[in-house]
Structure 1
């Protein structure tokens, strides 16, 4: 049986309220100030679990601050994605518009507040989607564009289709290229020399 924590750390508060760790520090600071003003013993960087449960601790965040924190988080993930996919090089090859569409789609999925997201027609936990999309690199985006350019099927929901392709890219890229090589090698053997 898991023992209940007496104190919550900054990381716990960040996870509990869905905040970035840097912003959670400010929230814990405010909670500690409130506790100190009520003559409670304060441990810096920690808040009693009971205090968080008994109070509407989310009151320490104004709507404006919550929005600002989400914007900051989105910008941090944007930079991470740009680094992962080698954004500048991709833009030179495929155009800024096409690459930016994929980046925005990935950001929407990564920063989603939903518990689950639809991928391959299935409800997938957002944390799993986030983890997979953060693994997408330069070669995966090339693979996505290659696949999209070759596709002749009518797509009803392009956003869902592209999100599914991005989600599956890290898991399918090696098998795809292996199949391509096997196909090319097979046909290469049957062509008679002239």
Structure 2
């Protein structure tokens, strides 16, 4: 037989396609890690590496989806918009998301959907969040 048993199960074209897909996923994973300064974040002793890895995987899964739309907080958005926003996230956004997780006291039923929503909204809510926090600390202490 010219093929081993494993090789006969999948035609060569399929193996090449899977290899391309896997390499594209790895490329996106590296881009996301670079965008969020992953190597710097994990050096912080307060940083929870497992939570950070979860965020990277959710971002990666979202960026690599083949869907035309992605549901965020009950609304459907064009996948390209969501992917674009996720690819623009940086370390400040990730730290903001982790702060939101720490501050949240309500039960989250679907953590994956919650994280997608917080990541998606991070660029437009981060400034207001920290302004409100500073105002609370400054005016609340009087």
TM-score by length of 1: 0.63
The aligned counterpart of 2:76 is: 123
Q: How does 1:145-184 map to 2 (within 5 A)?
A: 145-184=98-137
Q: How does 1:66-145 map to 2 (within 5 A)?
A: 66-93=17-44, 94-145=47-98
In the alignment of these two chains, the number of paired residues is: 129
2:131 and 2:40 map into 1 onto residues whose CA distance is 25
2:70 and 2:16 map into 1 onto residues whose CA distance is 26
Unaligned stretches of 5+ residues in structure 1? 1-60
**Residue 92 of structure 1, CA deviation:** 2.5
| Residues 146-190 of structure 1, C-alpha deviations (whole Å, 9 max, x = no match) | 1101101111111111111111111110111111122223224xx
SS in 2 for 1:62: helix
1:152 and 1:117 map into 2 onto residues whose CA distance is 27
**Mapped pair 1:64 → 2:15:** yes
**Residue 98 of structure 1, CA deviation:** 1.6
Worse-matched range after superposition: 170-179 or 104-113: 170-179
1:95 and 1:158 map into 2 onto residues whose CA distance is 16
Q: Which has the higher contact order (CA 8 A, sep 6+)?
A: 2
Worse-matched range after superposition: 117-126 or 175-184: 175-184
Q: CA RMSD in A?
A: 1.5
**Residue 88 of structure 1, CA deviation:** 1.5
